[in-house]
A = this chain, B = another copy of it.
Amino acid sequence: MPAMTVNERSPDTRERIHDAGLTLFNDRGYSGTTVRELADACDLTPGAIYNHYASKEALLFAIVDRVHDQADALLGDTLRVASREPAAQLEALAAAFTAFHIARPRETRVANRDYIYLPAGERDSIVRRRRRVRALFADVLRAGERDGSFSFGELGSDDAVQAASMAILNMVVLVAEWFDPAGPRSASDTAALHGRLALRIARAQADSR
């Protein structure tokens, strides 16, 4: 049984490796990144990495797992603070999650793109978490359809809710692919804009306030 690499004295080194992994995996992809590049980026030798992570895969999992923790926390908090009305909930969720993705472009890109390189068990656990996020958006859409604030009936498909929630989620999750921090639009403007666009997709009546 390998060393568990716990109880370390300098968690900053672990954090530095985490951060370098974030940058390198984001730029070159997980399997396009070598442990030596990782070590160089932290001013370490390859061997030292293994005092903090059991393997390269373990680092990837730490990265992906953490950002999912943060996402879950954010979405939970947002729902808890928002009112009970589905329209307000949807707008708040889309805006908050957009801001989240703008603030963490590396984390979210690696999580979305490279989680397939995780070993089966860990990958499944991530896939399950992502499905729960999808379900959360779909539930809000269904609640709004029930109380009349959203409408999907005229779309011709018996479950347009899935397509609509995926449209919203993909809009939000991929914002960092085009958003330019140096551009004219601020992050919070863009977050608010995505909240409004989500309401358009759900065809909320009151979204032209």
Give this chain's copy count. Answer: 2
Query: Which residues of A85-126 are within 8 A (CB) of B?
Result: 113, 116-117
Interface residues of A (CB under 8 A from B): 28-29, 31-32, 113, 116-117, 134, 154-160, 162-164, 166-167, 170-171, 174-175, 177-178, 184-185, 189-190, 192-194, 196-197, 200-201, 203, 208
Interchain CA distance A158-B186 in the complex, whole Å: 11
Interchain CA distance A7-B84 in the complex, whole Å: 67
Q: Are B196 and A184 in contact (CB under 8 A)?
A: no
Shortest A189–chain B CB gap in Å is 5
Q: Are A116 and B189 in contact (CB under 8 A)?
A: no
Interface centre among A32, A159, A192 (most CB of B within 10 A): A32
Q: Are A197 and B158 in contact (CB under 8 A)?
A: no
Q: Are B32 and A189 in contact (CB under 8 A)?
A: no
> Chain A contact residues: over half helix, strand or loop, or mixed?
helix
Q: Are B166 and A184 in contact (CB under 8 A)?
A: no
Contact of A164 among B29, B117, B177, B197 (CB under 8 A): B197
Interchain CA distance A29-B110 in the complex, whole Å: 13
User: Residues of B contacting A159 with CB < 8 Å?
Assistant: 184-185
Given A31-B31, A194-B163, check contact A157 B185 (CB 8 Å): yes
Q: Are A167 and B166 in contact (CB under 8 A)?
A: no
Closest Cβ neighbor of A113 among chain B residues: B113
Shortest A190–chain B CB gap in Å is 7
Interface centre among A157, A158, A192 (most CB of B within 10 A): A157
Sampled A-B contacts (22; CB under 8 Å):
A29-B29, A32-B117, A154-B208, A155-B193, A155-B197, A156-B192, A157-B185, A157-B190, A158-B184, A159-B184, A159-B185, A160-B193, A163-B193, A163-B194, A163-B197, A166-B175, A166-B177, A167-B171, A167-B201, A170-B177, A200-B200, A201-B201
